[in-house]
Amino acid sequence: MIRLTRPALPRYLPSIGMGTAKMEFVKAAARVLAGVLFGALAAFALAPAVAAFGSSDADPSPFFAPAVVLVSAILTFLAPTIRKAFGRGFLMAGLSFFSLPVSTILLTGQSLLDVIIPGDAAAPGEAALLTGVVGLAVSGFVTLVSLGAGAIFVVIGLVLILGGSRREDAVDRPRR
C-alpha cells in the first residue's frame, strides 16, 4: 500500500531564517494587496453608477472608490488563507462587473436628462432620440462585456474559495 502525500522537506536543509511572525506579516500583506487590487477593479466597475448619482455639490462620490477598496482590503485580510483572499477578491470584482449594465443604464438616463433639460427649445426631440439610441448601444455593449467578465471572475473566485481541498488516499498497487 502506497500513501500519496505531500513530500516533506529533507532534514538536512537549513532553516530559511524567517520567523513565523515575519511570515505571517508577509501573508497578511499579500492578502491586503489582493484586496486593494480587486477593490480597485470593483470600484472601476461601479464608477458609472457613482457618476450617475453624483451631481450635487455635497457629492459623496470622491469617497466611494476608497471605501470600496477599504472594504475589499478588510474582507481579504480576514480570509484564513491567501487562496481564499484571492477568491474573495475575484468574487467582489465579478459581482461588481455583473452590476455594470445597470450602472450604465443609470448613467445613460442621467446623460439624457442633462441633454434635454439645458438644451434649447428647437430640438429636444432629436437630442432625446439620439441620446437614447447611443445609450442603448453603449448599454448593450457594456452588458455583453461585463457579463462575460463577471462570469469569469465569479467562476475563478468560487474555484479558489470552494475548491482545492487535499485528501490522503490510499492506493493499492497491484502485486506482480
Tens digit of each residue's pLDDT (9 = 90 or more) over 90-126: 999 999 999 988 888 888 877 777 776 665 565 567 7
Residues in the chain: 176
57-62 contacts: CB < 8 A, separation 24 or more?
none
Model pLDDT, residue 12: 47
CA distance 101 to 77: 29
Among 27, 26, 45, 144, which Cα is nearest to 90's?
45
Our count of domains for the chain comes to 1
First to last CA, the chain: 13
- Domain assignment present for residue 157? The answer is yes
Residue 10 lies in a domain: no
Residue with the bigger pLDDT between 154 and 7: it is 154
Question: Residue 175: inside a domain, yes or no?
Answer: no
pLDDT bracket for residue 138 (50, 70, 90)? confident
CA distance 111 to 108: 5
- Domain assignment present for residue 153? The answer is yes
In a domain? residue 16: no
Sign of the torsion angle spanned by Cα atoms 147, 149, 154, 156: positive
14 falls within a domain = no
Average pLDDT over residues 69-97: 92
Give the C-alpha separation, 91 to 49, whole Å: 19
Closest among 155, 37, 52, 140 to 94, alpha carbons compared: 155
Compute the distance between CA of residue 76 and CA of residue 67 in angstroms, rounded to an integer.
Answer: 14
pLDDT of residue 40: 93
Q: What is the pTM of this model?
A: 0.72
Cα separation of 133 and 48, whole Å? 18
Q: Report which of 66, 48, 4 is spatially closest to residue 138, judged by C-alpha positions.
A: 48
Predicted confidence at residue 172, as pLDDT, reads 65
Give the residue numbers spanning the domain of 113: 21-164
Residue 70: name the closest of 40, 94, 115 by CA.
Answer: 40
**Per the domain annotation, does 50 fall within a domain?**
yes
Q: What are phi and psi of 46, to 5 degrees?
A: -90, 0
Residue 174 lies in a domain: no
**99 vs 2: CA distance, rounded Å:** 50
